[in-house]
Structure formats: C-alpha cells, structure tokens
A and B are shown apart, each in its own frame.
Chain A
Amino acid sequence: MAFENRVDVDHPVHDIRTEAIKVFEEKGFPTKKDEAWKYTSLNALLKTDYSVFPKEESALEFKDVKKYFIHDIDSYKIVFIDGIYSSHLSQTSHEGLDVCLMSSALTKPKYRLIIENYFNKIAKKDDSLTSLNTAFSREGAFINIPKGKVVDKPIQIVHLATGKESSIMLQPRSLVVVGENAHVQIIERHQSLTENPVLTNSVTEIFTHKRGIVDYYKIQNDNQQASLIDNTYISQQQNSLASVHTFSFGGKLTRNNLQFIHKGEHINSTLKGITITEDKQHVDHSTLVHHATPNCESHQDYKGIYADRSTGVFNGRIIVEKEAQKTNGFQQNNNILIDDKATINAKPQLEIFADDVKCSHGCTIGQLDEEALFYLQARGIPKKEARALLMYAFANNVLESVKIPELKTRINKLIAMKLNVNIGFDL
C-alpha cells in the first residue's frame, strides 16, 4: 500500500490501514439506498476510470496558480500537485509549531506518539469513503500547534490537479492538532487546472484541546469536471472554539461530511456555509454535531442559492445525549431557488435525549423578494445587479464571522464572479 515501503509493519498505521481496507471491501461505495446518501448519487462519477497515482511529478510556477491562493497576506502554505507535495510552492515550518506533511509525520519517530494518539481516532471507522481514504491516502497536511501557541499567520492548504492524467482520484489525508490555548486559522482549497475529471476523497481530523481555537475555511470553487467528497471530523475539549466556514460555488458534485464531537464542557462549535450553484452542479452538506457533554453550544447557519438545474442537499443533524444538559443548539438553513428546475432537499434532524436544553432550527425555501428587487431597480440598479445584491445580502450573515479580512474580500469577489456582475460587495 501507499506507505508500506516506508512504514514498518509494527507501526500502528499498518493495522489501521489493513482494517480500513476490509471495511471498504465489505461496504463499497455508498449508494442511494444508504439513508445518508439518499439525495446524492456517485454513480455518474464512478463510471470514470481514475488513475490513483500520477505517473510523474509535475512542477508549477507560483505566478500561474497565484490566483488560487489568498496571496495578499503572509501565510504558511502546504501545496500538493496531483496529490504529491510541492516543496517549491510550499512554505512549511518546524519552528515553534509543525506545519508539514502527513508522510513525514507517519514515518518520523518523533511524531510516532502523536500519530498513535490522534491518527484515525475520530474519523468514522465504519464509513466506506473514510475507510477508502484511510487505506490508500499517501499524503496530506500535518499541523501540530503546541500548547499556548497563537499562530501568527494563516495556513493555506492547496490541492492542485494538473490534468496530466486523463482523470485522477486524489485521497488527501490531513491531521490538525491544536494544543491548549493555541490558536490557528486554516484555509483549504482544491483546484483543478484543466477540464479533465478529478475526484477527491479527502479526510481531515482536527483535535482542539482545552481553550484552543481553530478557524477553518473551505473554498470550494473548482471547475465543472471536478468533484469533491470532503470528510472533516472535529473533536473538541472543554472551553474550545472551533468554526468551519464552507464556501461552495464551483465543482460538479460536492459532498461535505462535517462532524463535531464534544469531549468537555463549555465548548462552542460553529458551522457556516454559503452555497451558490448553477447549471447541473450538486452540493450536499451533511452535518452532525454530537453534544455529549453539558453546557456546550453549536451554531449552524447555511445559506443556499440554486440556479438552473442545480441541486442542493442540507442534512443537518444534532444529537443531544442525555448527559448533555444545558445544551444550546442552533441551526439555520435558508435557501433560494432561482429557477423552477433547481431543487433543494433540506432535512434538519434533531435527536434530543436531555430535558434541559435549548435547541432551535429554522429552514426556509423561497424566492428573491420582488419588493426589494423593485426598490433597488428604482434606484437605478439594473435587474441582474439588483438580484446579485439581494443574493449577497441574503448570504451575508455567514460572511460576518470570517475573521481574515483579505479572505472576506476574496469571497466577496468570488460571489460577484459567480453571479456574473461587476459590482463591489466589499465595503
């Protein structure tokens, strides 16, 4: 298997991988018969015969891919080209923190304890796609922030696909460990540079220790032949804050499996997303917040705008265990359907076993407000731009909590591009 030439058979990862292969062989790819995949079919994607490893390593110049980075800020960078680490485009570090590679974390003795403690510990063992990744992933980001360290600049993880293979399947695997009182911001992006099909099955495990803070931003603006299955698992200890913002504008099929697991009191989890789709795009957000401890809160806010024949899924699950008294779970999902043929399947699922909790959810599906449209037009703003402004306003709540100003500006520009208008949303 991928690492086996470098990982000795006594290494804990060896057994984990063997087990994962078994799970995948048994389960296979999920189908619409699986409840969790009822509205998202992988059939069309799996007809393509993907290469799993590129035949050759590719090099890229920064200037040619600069636009896929938030390049107006200083940042650490972990960059992969067709799944292989690019030292040329990356800026890693071992000074006071580890911003480096999974392959080195898995092989170097000094990281063995971390791997034993964290690798594959919260990734769902019986999930077939997660198991597929566990079995075959060869590379990814390894981020280890020690106790008390406030990381001075964001970390960008960028996966580029060159299209040199006629089609490729990528399986990045990342591990993020945020120590007590540590603070880190991470921006992740997957980008294909050609129209050749790409299927990415990504797994990320994030551990946030006491009072740790992690802000994770996912930019999903890939081209029309690229698909992404993102499996992100976050475990939080007491008083920690974790947020994930997902901006889904591009790609053929995108599935976000986002799971939060609570392991202490006074934890705060934030899950937000803006989805804007057109043509035949499909975006699925399947979230789970598992409240297992008392006095914690979670905030979910997903906005979706679906045009043409595009389809969306929001499957938001909140579980509140019997022990998790005084939980405050909030979930909001608002959708606008621009065209008659666009669809959204929204399914909030609240499973509450405690009796002293505050949980609320709200789900709306509607159209743009005609009165508001008239108001903007009456001020001289043409219909297309007026519609774009209203869509921006509709999604704006989600942007308010983005903590990196340059990232916010970039998202604003991406929204303007996606809506095909030449107006500045940034203020």
Chain B
Amino acid sequence: MLKIKNLHASVEDKEILKGINLEVKPGEVHAIMGPNGSGKSTLSSVIAGNEDFEVTEGTIEFLGENIDELAPEERAHKGIFLSFQYPVEIPGVTVTNFMKTAINETRRAQGLEDMPANEMLKKIREKSELLEIDRKFLSRSLNQGFSGGEKKRNEIFQMAMLEPKLAILDETDSGLDIDALKIVSDGVNRLKSKDNAVVVITHYQRLLEYIVPDYVHVLLNGRIVKSGTKELALELEEKGYDWIKQELAV
C-alpha cells in the first residue's frame, strides 16, 4: 500500500529525514517511535504532502503510484489521512459543515455527486456515536475552544467519516486522559479492516497497549534504525532510547 524508498527531506536547507525506507501493507498496523526531534512528525507531514518540506531524494508510492508530485488534497482523495498532533482552529466553520465540505470535495474529485443530505446526517450520527461525541459538539466551530482531548477525538471522528485507506496518527495520545485514550483507540480498532492500514506515531508505549502494532520502528536522527514487533515498544518503554544509540555506536 505505502512504499517509502530512501526518503530525504529538508526544511530551510536543514536535512531532517535522511533516507527512510518503510513498507506498509493492507491490514497492518505500524508504530513509529522515537525521541523528540527525531523526525517523526516530519515523516507524517511529508507523506501527507506538506509543501513546507522539500523532498530532496527518494520516492513515496501509494497503491502502486508515485505520489511525490501530488498536492495534499490529491493525496487525501486517494485515501491518505493524517491525524494532526496540533489540529488547527477554524472559527465560524462547524464540525458538521467542515465534514460535509471535506467529504463532498473528495467525492467531486472522484467524479461523484455530492452526498445526499440524509445520508450525510446518518453517517455523522453513526460515527459520532462510535466515538461517543455529543451532538452539540458537532455544531461548534472546528477545534475552537476544544480541549486537547476533544481535538484528538475530533480528529478520529474525521477519520471515521472519511474512511481512509491509510491513516497516520501523529501523537494522537498526547493530551488524552485514560478514558479518552480508550475511546479513541477503540474507534481506531473498530475502523480497522484487512483493506486499510494504520501508522501510529508516538512517543510512548501507552497507546500501543490499545492499538496493537504488527511492527514497531525506531526513528533516530532522521533514519529508521531498528524495526521489530510490539515487544520492541515495551523494551523502549523500559530502557529508553540510549541503548539503541549505544548499539548503533558499536
């Protein structure tokens, strides 16, 4: 589904990703872990097409197609979803209206008619129930005045609405208390199928107790330096990242 080969990316001439290789197949859950500044968020931004980063080398393939030249919205239309670490506040645009716009723009790009209003409402109701979202919440301005947890839950609600093939969850656990974490993870797990894939980017092992990864990768200084299974995450939780650095030095 996703094939990243030798990806180098920089911002303002500072190289942040220094040759990433990663393959994600349908039905898989991958976790990318690493300390602050290792390039985790950059990697997710680059996959989603953020033009602030310049890809200097390497390629990204999605569903067998090179997507290097595609704008962020075109990548979204193909089924890539990025749950933001810091969702942006958009005053005056309600959650509901924003979802309508996002879904219908995606449908238009695929040559489909706008979704009928009743179908849209039904879907909104269904997905908001899945994430235990209050109806009142849906008529509030997008992310404005939301708590950290509400913002993250809203990101997963958007994911549920858009039904992406590949979901990248960037630090979705930060700012969540344990109850919200359970609801969000539960939502992600229920949306999982053999046809879609999830990449979880996180600092801590905590989230991975709920969203169980098939593979864990360690990102250090712009490179994936170690890959393993979920046990690797436990080891990292226990020992930190220094032992990997030492291992690399040897």
* Interface residues, chain A, with chain B CB atoms under 8 Å away: 369-372, 374-383, 385-386, 389-390, 392-393, 395-397, 399-400, 423-427
Q: Which of A369, A378, A396, A424 contacts B72, CB < 8 Å?
A: A378
* Whole-angstrom distance between the Cβ of B169 and the nearest chain A Cβ: 13
| 1/0 contact string of B96-121 vs chain A (CB within 8 Å) | 11101111011001000000000000
B139 at the interface (CB under 8 A from A): yes
Please provide the chain B residues from 44 to 96 with a CB less than 8 Å away from any CB of chain A in the complex: 45, 48-52, 71-73, 75-77, 81-82, 84, 87-88, 90-94, 96
B42 at the interface (CB under 8 A from A): no
| B90 contact set on A, CB distance < 8 A | 372, 376, 389-390, 393
Please provide the chain B residues from 139 to 169 with a CB less than 8 Å away from any CB of chain A in the complex: 139, 141, 158, 162
The CA of A426 and the CA of B76, in the complex, are separated in Å by 24
* Whole-angstrom distance between the Cβ of B245 and the nearest chain A Cβ: 31
Contact B71 A427 (CB under 8 A): no
The CA of A244 and the CA of B117, in the complex, are separated in Å by 36
* Interface residues, chain B, with chain A CB atoms under 8 Å away: 45, 48-52, 71-73, 75-77, 81-82, 84, 87-88, 90-94, 96-98, 100-103, 105-106, 109, 139, 141, 158, 162
Q: Which of B49, B94, B158 contacts A377, CB < 8 Å?
A: B49
Residue of A nearest to B159 (CB): A379
**Given A374-B51, A374-B72, A375-B87, A380–B105 Cβ distance below 8 Å?**
yes
| B103 contact set on A, CB distance < 8 A | 380
**Given A380-B106, A382-B73, A383-B73, A423–B101 Cβ distance below 8 Å?**
yes
**Given A424-B97, A427-B96, A381–B73 Cβ distance below 8 Å?**
yes
* Whole-angstrom distance between the Cβ of A402 and the nearest chain B Cβ: 12
- The DSSP consensus for interface residues of chain A is helix
Number of A-B contacts (CB under 8 A): 93
| A399 contact set on B, CB distance < 8 A | 92
The CA of A73 and the CA of B145, in the complex, are separated in Å by 34
Q: Which of A375, A379, A396, A424 contacts B91, CB < 8 Å?
A: A396
Q: Which of A370, A400, A427 contacts B94, CB < 8 Å?
A: A427
Given contacts A390-B90, A397-B91, A424-B97, 17 further A-B contacts (CB under 8 A): A369-B88, A374-B50, A377-B76, A378-B49, A378-B75, A378-B76, A380-B102, A380-B109, A380-B162, A381-B102, A381-B105, A389-B93, A389-B101, A396-B91, A397-B92, A427-B93, A427-B94
Contact B97 A427 (CB under 8 A): yes
Residue of A nearest to B102 (CB): A379
Q: Which of A374, A385, A393, A396 contacts B105, CB < 8 Å?
A: A385
The CA of A379 and the CA of B102, in the complex, are separated in Å by 6
Contact A377 B93 (CB under 8 A): no
The CA of A370 and the CA of B162, in the complex, are separated in Å by 23
Residue of B nearest to A396 (CB): B92
Residue of B nearest to A422 (CB): B108
**Given A370-B52, A393-B93, A423-B101, A378–B88 Cβ distance below 8 Å?**
no
* Whole-angstrom distance between the Cβ of B54 and the nearest chain A Cβ: 14
| A369 contact set on B, CB distance < 8 A | 88
Contact A371 B105 (CB under 8 A): no
Contact A381 B101 (CB under 8 A): yes
* Whole-angstrom distance between the Cβ of B177 and the nearest chain A Cβ: 24
Residue of B nearest to A372 (CB): B88
Contact B71 A374 (CB under 8 A): no
| B93 contact set on A, CB distance < 8 A | 389, 392-393, 396, 425, 427
Please list 9 pairs of residues, one from A and one from B, whose beta carbons are closer than 8 Å in the complex, sorted by A's number: A374-B50, A376-B88, A377-B72, A380-B73, A380-B77, A380-B109, A383-B73, A425-B93, A425-B97
Interface centre among B76, B77, B92 (most CB of A within 10 A): B92
The CA of A13 and the CA of B99, in the complex, are separated in Å by 59
| B48 contact set on A, CB distance < 8 A | 374, 378
| A393 contact set on B, CB distance < 8 A | 90-93
| A395 contact set on B, CB distance < 8 A | 92
The CA of A378 and the CA of B101, in the complex, are separated in Å by 13
Residue of B nearest to A384 (CB): B73
Residue of B nearest to A412 (CB): B92
Residue of B nearest to A400 (CB): B92
The CA of A379 and the CA of B97, in the complex, are separated in Å by 13
* Whole-angstrom distance between the Cβ of B90 and the nearest chain A Cβ: 5
**Given A393-B91, A399-B92, A424-B97, A377–B162 Cβ distance below 8 Å?**
no
| A385 contact set on B, CB distance < 8 A | 101, 105
The CA of A395 and the CA of B91, in the complex, are separated in Å by 9
Contact B88 A371 (CB under 8 A): yes
The CA of A400 and the CA of B93, in the complex, are separated in Å by 12
| B45 contact set on A, CB distance < 8 A | 374
The CA of A63 and the CA of B84, in the complex, are separated in Å by 49
Residue of B nearest to A386 (CB): B73
* Whole-angstrom distance between the Cβ of A3 and the nearest chain B Cβ: 46
The CA of A425 and the CA of B91, in the complex, are separated in Å by 11
| B96 contact set on A, CB distance < 8 A | 427
Residue of A nearest to B83 (CB): A378
| A378 contact set on B, CB distance < 8 A | 48-50, 72-73, 75-76, 81-82, 84
The CA of A381 and the CA of B139, in the complex, are separated in Å by 20
Q: Which of B50, B76, B139 contacts A379, CB < 8 Å?
A: B76
Residue of B nearest to A395 (CB): B92
